[in-house]
Amino acid sequence: MSNCIASELLKNGKTVLYQTAPVLLETVIDFKLGRNTDSSNNFIQSVLETDLLIIDDLGTEIINSMKLSELFTIINTRILNLNNHVTKTIISTNLDMKNIFDIYQDRIASRIAGYYDIYYFFGEDLRLKRIK
């Protein structure tokens, strides 16, 4: 579903960044700590300003305080348009809202619960179906 939305936006000249939660947060932290010094590609600016950010597999990353802080900054900046640019975010996860509140602190979880439309998808896992 996320890929279909991204494809349509790209066709209309919008910018899209798709990344798994573990890679997204690790990459942002690497930039902040100076472990990635490629100044021609300001990843953090792209994360905050891209028209559509797709965070895939939230809940698969190893959580620590730095990652929680960066996730909060990303979500909050994009919700409040602190980048002076209208942005949208899609978050996909296998977690339910209770798990999100248990794992991500109230300040992150309440923003997800309060500012995002929540859709539950049911059915067979198509990846597993291909194996059979």
Q: Which residue has the higher pLDDT, 81 or 15?
A: 15
| The pLDDT of residue 90 | 97
Is the pTM here over 0.75, yes or no? yes
Ordered alpha helix ranges (H), the chain: 2-11, 21-32, 43-49, 65-79, 97-115, 126-131
| Boundaries of every domain in the chain | 2-131
CA-derived radius of gyration, the chain: 15
Residues 10-64 have pLDDT tens digits of 999 999 999 999 999 999 999 888 877 665 458 888 999 999 999 999 999 999 9
Residues 63-75 have pLDDT tens digits of 999 999 999 999 9
Q: What is the mean pLDDT of residues 102-110?
A: 95
- Residues 111, 75 contacting (CB under 8 angstroms): yes
- pLDDT band at 81; cut points 50, 70, 90: confident
Domain 2-131 has CATH 3.40.50.300: yes
| The pLDDT of residue 33 | 85
